[in-house]
Amino acid sequence: MRQDPEIRENVELEALNTLRVRARAAFYAEIKSAPELIRALEWARERQHETLVLGGGSNLVFAGDFLGLVIRMAIRGRRWEHIVDHRATLVLGAGESWHEAVLYAGRAGYRGIENLALIPGTAGAAPVQNIGAYGVELCDCLESVTALDRTTGELVTLNSSECRFAYRDSLFKHMPGRFVITEIRLALSRTRPLVLGYRDLQEYMGVTPDSTLEPLEVAEAVMAIRRRKLPDPAIIPNAGSFFKNPVVERARFDALKDRYPDIVGYPQEQGVKLAAAWLIDQCGWKGFRNARVGVHNRQALVLINHSGGNGEDILVLAEEIRKSVEQRFGVTLEMEPGIVAGSTSP
């Protein structure tokens, strides 16, 4: 049976993005299955409307109204597959809450994603950004994704290597609009070593032996640490970390270290990853507020919308921060959220 989604007109998107920026969609559809997704895209193509695929709205900034079709992915479902010995595959629909999926896996005793607790957004959006926290990235356990390839109109399965993951990067960011993820598969294990190398985690866990910890305990520790440092978007509108941690060559880091002995850096294969929060804090931005937007007083990476600011307010502040860091340290910050510019009429 043909599954036609309901297409609504002139829909307010303020409640559908965690920055609570006001913007409207000319057309809007909530998608609960792959066939509905195909029909929605057909509907837009027939009318020559642009499309925007929306998950939890936690990693984007609306810079204006969207005059095409906003497709909100609400495909639900989670199940276990290939349960063999201590290993299992967790399958998640694109519309599943990422954080709830982390807790679901932890309660079942499976390890691999517990460090990614409390990251807002949906399962389908997680591979696009290759979400990461506390020494773990999604690519560490992602087995494959199912996605609609809009060039062929067919559902395809892409394994982890085909997704071309890198730090906060993936194939999906380099081919925007081509693939719409409908389902993801995570390879988890009951015996996988826990990743507890970050200082915050070590300090929180104290002297508790790793061998006695359960993944849910690690997830709860991550939740406590994040809540201590990061504002809840439901209370203070924000999009999480607004800038990526920049990676510089070792020689460049050594030169910065000579000038700024307290600079924070983490060795990587390709150089040294700097702590963007430290750079921004040193430029005096932590706790800054103007009339509408600002920077959180406990985490300089988080831009907040405290008094009804719009997308332009957020972007102007972000550019001021970026310029100040570049002028002082010679390091260019890259924004994490995607920017949704006001689209054009067909």
Contact of 338 with 318, CB cutoff 8 Å: no
Main-chain dihedrals φ then ψ at residue 147, nearest 5 degrees: -145, 155
CB-facing half-sphere around the CA of 34: CA atoms within 13 A: 17
Amino acid symbol at 154: E
Question: Does residue 79 have an active-site annotation?
Answer: no
User: Cα–Cα distances in Å, from 341 out to 64, 65, 97, 242, 326?
Assistant: 6, 8, 26, 17, 25
Are the CB atoms for 162 and 171 separated by under 8 Å? Answer: yes
Q: What is 80-98 written as a DSSP string?
A: EEEEETTEEEEEEETTSBH
Q: Give the CA angle between residues 61, 171, 344 to the nearest 5°.
A: 40
Separation between Cα atoms, residue 32 and residue 36, nearest integer Å:
7
C-alpha 120/C-alpha 99 separation (Å) is 7
The verdict on whether 241 is a catalytic residue reads yes
SS3 content of the chain, % helix, strand, coil (to 5): 30, 30, 40
Under 8 Å between Cβ of 156 and 147: yes
Catalytic residue among 58, 241, 322, 343: 241
Active site includes 292?
A: no
Question: Which one of 72, 170, 336, 343 is the catalytic residue?
Answer: 336
Catalytic residues: 168, 241, 336
